[in-house]
Structure 1
Amino acid sequence: MTAEGRTIVLAGGTSAAGRAIARALVDAGARVIATGRSESGLAAVRDAGAEAVVADATSVEDMTRLAGALGAVDGVFPLVGGWRGGGGLEGQSDEDFAALLPALEAVRATSRAFDALLQASDAGRFAIVSSTAVARPLAGGANYAAVKAASEAWARAVAHGFAKSARDAETPLRAASVVFRAKALEPEVLATAATGLWDSPADDLNDHVINLG
């Protein structure tokens, strides 16, 4: 198995990481669909070879509509992110927490909208990007670490759902949910790891944390 011929969604894929993943997957022969909230934000990822769709990655309705339009999907990467923090616990404002929540909302929305399609694929892959802050949260990054920890918990629940469905149907596990964890995210390193998800069987990936340096 490889990424060649796969249909892969980069939800909120307008960041440097999204552009790097898009380029790597397109180079590997995949069809890449990247979403963003505006046409202008999608220009760079379109230049990387991806198909661009204006849609909100945090919206279950938008993601469900996209899933219905595509019909078949082999991979989903919710890439909504960002960092806000500092100032110890006193500095963990409600405004900063609210600004970070879309990352978790995108994980929830995409996993729910594409669950059936990923399980129908012979190699469905769902992967999120997390942080080493989850393992060692600091006071000044408590909001950020909490959102990342919640995202990881959701991704693990997705993994459990994949495994349970396979057991109940008495079929081999074909879908995998993975957490990429990095201290300082390097887009090209992430892109290589993302493309490599189709090089390994689901049993070796599902419910695993992959450390990126």
Structure 2
Amino acid sequence: MPAVAGRSVLIAGATSAVGLAAARALTDAGARVVAVGRSAERLEPLAGLGARTEVADLADEAQVARLAERLRGDGIALDGVLCLVGGWRGGGGLAGQTEADYRVLEASFTALRHVSRAFEEDLVRSPAGRLAIISSTAVARPLAGGANYAAIKAASEAWARAIAQGFAKHAREAREPERAEAVIFRVASLAGLEEAVAEAFVGLWEADAPVNGEIVEVSGRE
């Protein structure tokens, strides 16, 4: 059986194509999936895969806290989190990078911060906690027309590395092996890579070598 079998995994921002692919890969591998999104209607295909669906705006701290309470009240302790809240606004050079565009993009970073804080204890206590974010190759080569986007992705990567350091620190202070890992998946574009990202996430429970704090480029190429 895959190592993720029987584990509880939350997909944050699950209503995208990659969210559907991840839910399918996880349920096929025997995981219990909690799919979270803002639209009950758009969550229906994930419920059809057998996922538990939760409607919440993950950029709202109070809603994230209530989500955590509901799951814990039902005896669900998470073993994994895949953060997919995102989007794109850009173009027009630096002058075209409006404040309104930035605030829309910022919601993905805000959601990551809320979700990671709410479920950090679950992941640390899990025998194999995993958290992954989707970042962009734009972080390494930002363009003027995508400055807002690259800045948000860079901040998200810094936060993910901080999560990784926290996981390592907890294990060190507890004098225990490192069991929780935070990983950054970088893509040039998610288009056509939905299945590859889903497989990479499921594979985090299969990996022999530790990848805590690592950047993993997902290209879809063999």
TM-score interval w.r.t. the shorter chain?
A: over 0.9
Tell me by how many angstroms 1:64 deviates: 2.8
Q: Distance in 2 between matches of 1:137 and 1:62?
A: 33
Q: Does 1:133 align with 2:134?
A: no
1:88–1:140 CA contact under 8 A, matched in 2: yes
Measured against aligned partners, the alpha-carbon deviations of 1:4-46 in whole angstroms (never above 9, x if no partner) come to 0010000111111100000000000000000111211211222
Residue 165 of structure 1 corresponds to which residue in structure 2? 170
Residue 205 of structure 2 corresponds to which residue in structure 1? 198
Q: Distance in 2 between matches of 1:132 and 1:47?
A: 33
Tell me by how many angstroms 1:48 deviates: 2.8
Q: Distance in 1 between matches of 2:55 and 2:169?
A: 33
Instruction: Give me the CA root mean square deviation.
Output: 1.2
Q: Distance in 1 between matches of 2:39 and 2:201?
A: 25
Q: Does 1:105 align with 2:82?
A: no
Residue 49 of structure 1 corresponds to which residue in structure 2? 50
Q: Distance in 2 between matches of 1:58 and 1:12?
A: 10
Question: Structure 2: which amino acid aligns with 1:209?
Answer: I
Question: Structure 1: which amino acid aligns with 2:196?
Answer: V
Q: Does 1:210 align with 2:216?
A: yes
Measured against aligned partners, the alpha-carbon deviations of 1:63-106 in whole angstroms (never above 9, x if no partner) come to 23323333311001121111110011111111110110111011
Q: Secondary structure at the match of 1:204?
A: coil
Q: Secondary structure at the match of 2:134?
A: strand
Structure-to-structure mapping, 1:77-116, within 5 angstroms: 77-116=82-121
Question: Which segments of 5 or more consecutive residues in structure 1 lack a partner in the other structure?
Answer: none
Measured against aligned partners, the alpha-carbon deviations of 1:109-161 in whole angstroms (never above 9, x if no partner) come to 11000000000000000110000000000000000000000000000000010
The percentage of counterpart residues that share the same residue type is 54
Q: Does 1:25 align with 2:32?
A: no
Question: Which segments of 5 or more consecutive residues in structure 2 lack a partner in the other structure?
Answer: none
Q: Distance in 2 between matches of 1:170 and 1:60?
A: 32
Structure-to-structure mapping, 1:61-72, within 5 angstroms: 61-71=62-72, 72=77
Question: Structure 1: which amino acid aligns with 2:213?
Answer: D
Question: Structure 2: which amino acid aligns with 1:207?
Answer: G
Q: Secondary structure at the match of 2:133?
A: strand
TM-score (normalizing by structure 2): 0.92
Q: Distance in 1 between matches of 2:128 and 2:64?
A: 20
1:12–1:78 CA contact under 8 A, matched in 2: yes
Tell me by how many angstroms 1:54 deviates: 1.0
1:64–1:114 CA contact under 8 A, matched in 2: no
Give structure 1 regions of 4+ aligned residues with deviation exceeding 4 angstroms.
none
TM-score (normalizing by structure 1): 0.96
